[in-house]
Structure 1
């Protein structure tokens, strides 16, 4: 189990739900604070920011590999630099957002993208750190974050087993004791077919960490399914209204959807229970409505039991149906009324 602020993460606890604000504030602090409120009202446990500037992410170039020309990309037709300028959360907002989240009972955390962001977030007393999929091979950054001694959540999008092994080793060797890996598909949006949830239990066994899901699919079905496979953390992009637009709005959840996610993932976790057979306590009253053997016609003493006068019906106060063939042909020692449960005592002579 891992403790982040006052929240415990592990298989014995409900899934930890992170609402990822990303750039959905659309460069408005007022909107950012409304997103915090909406996440709290929906029952999420944490709100996540991203801490970078366009200059810490890339170069201000508008050509070649610095320009997004893929027609299938949500961000086609812009440069990386302009995209990050539009999407970044101004650093002078972040203390205000952290404090507002705390007042609303939310854990606030962030994804740093370079060492300067880690230093800044340390000043805000960030309770843990998130590493994005695109930085999960940035070992110097991971070592810097691990050196804080705080829990780290790492998305595993695109990473091979060998790369993840390097990442996990780097984090642990640099001082990270509490590590969470999130299965992730780095497409926006992602499809269920490319999500590969069966990786979750394998990852837990392979690396000995808590595991979860950074979910870029639409809806809540994939996230709910991940809980059945052992996910203890769910991260979803979150906005007030997809129609408002924004860099990540297309694949972000709205408040009503987030509320449903919180409810249904907790139900999925509750349903896991434990390995058990036989009636649970709540079922015991239902045992009386099983089928059992009943006399279904009035009978005189000495008449024999047949398939016509003895049947397996509900309720369950008679002998189990497995005794039907054993009883056929036996005489009843006394008169018996229709609707009498067949018991061993009934067949004994007085």
Structure 2
């Protein structure tokens, strides 16, 4: 059975959905907004919050970094200025670590480059995420795996060969990692979610916990993913979907996150243990709607009972229809009137 350890938790198929509120850069570069998001995520049922860490000058080419950025979502005149505006440094991360510890929520981040991985490990982050775009970055995968920290791999925009390659690279150095089905489309078309891949991953990677990173709108698809076996659910999170930024529109607001937590918990209970059983609460309705064997006509005392003497009606206690062979061939101990229930007391 796949499992995944993060902080003091061990997640497996018996676990409730582990919700990661992906904040990314929805904080808009504002520390106080981010702190408010941490608190709201905790209040509304998230198990973890996640940011994204980039060394922008290392990550982007000089041409890309200095390119004019005219997007309505821009926070700077160039793409580099835009990215730097959204980036938190050591001071902000230390403050956020303290906030997370104080409110009791797991905080970690995605490393988009080796410098960022070092940055996060120097802060002793409890886990590290690899984004879909780096599934083919075997150097980064290996570098992060060697930290022996819990790892989560997103697998959007990939074929199974890419997933297999990444898994093989990571597991040479680290066996404690989870694999998330993902579609790198923002927002994702429902027809492109390929939720059945979750089942495929569970068969291919039986030692690893499988999850779902959803860029779809709403909470119905994460619930379907959980029902299929995903036990880590990552959804983008925002305080307000109308805020400036590319990710807000498909993110969950606090109310949506709270509903996701509620419905995942209900679904966890509803799935049960896979053992078919009768609950005591069903016995009353069962009596009201179930047929039993009754006399189809008046049956004289000592008459050998034939199938033609019997009928099936909703009538409380007695023999079930499938038990008719236990009645046919027996004799009436007393006179049994029309519609009377056949019981062990009136036949022999």
The count of residues paired between Structure 1 and Structure 2 equals: 343
* Worse-matched range after superposition: 217-226 or 298-307: 298-307
Does residue 167 in structure 1 map to residue 166 in structure 2? yes
In structure 1, the residue matched to 2:57 is: 55
- Map 1:183-222; keep pairs closer than 5 Å: 183-208=181-206, 209-222=208-221
In structure 2, the residue matched to 1:9 is: 11
Change (3 A) 1:67 1:224: farther
Cα-to-partner distance string for 1:49-83 (whole Å, 9 max, x where unaligned): 1111432331353699x6789x9x988xx865355
Change (3 A) 1:68 1:196: farther
1:294/1:310 contact within 8 Å kept: yes
In structure 2, the residue matched to 1:45 is: 47
Deviation at 1:288, TM superposition (A): 4.2
Q: Distance in 2 between matches of 1:279 and 1:227?
A: 25
Q: Distance in 1 between matches of 2:201 and 2:131?
A: 17
Q: Distance in 1 between matches of 2:48 and 2:90?
A: 19
In structure 2, the residue matched to 1:313 is: 313
In structure 1, the residue matched to 2:87 is: 88
For structure 2, the 5+ residue unaligned runs are: none
1:240/1:255 contact within 8 Å kept: yes
Change (3 A) 1:42 1:62: same
For structure 1, the 5+ residue unaligned runs are: none
SS in 2 for 1:61: helix
Change (3 A) 1:27 1:317: same
In structure 1, the residue matched to 2:273 is: 274
- Map 1:74-223; keep pairs closer than 5 Å: 80-173=79-172, 175-208=173-206, 209-223=208-222
TM-score, length-scaled by structure 1: 0.85
Cα-to-partner distance string for 1:86-131 (whole Å, 9 max, x where unaligned): 5433443111112111211100010011121112111221011000
In structure 2, the residue matched to 1:30 is: 32
Does residue 240 in structure 1 map to residue 242 in structure 2? no
TM-score, length-scaled by structure 2: 0.86
Cα RMSD, aligned residues only: 3.3
2:73/2:245 contact within 8 Å kept: no
* Worse-matched range after superposition: 123-132 or 279-288: 279-288
Q: Distance in 1 between matches of 2:181 and 2:115?
A: 27
Q: Distance in 1 between matches of 2:246 and 2:238?
A: 11
Change (3 A) 1:82 1:315: farther
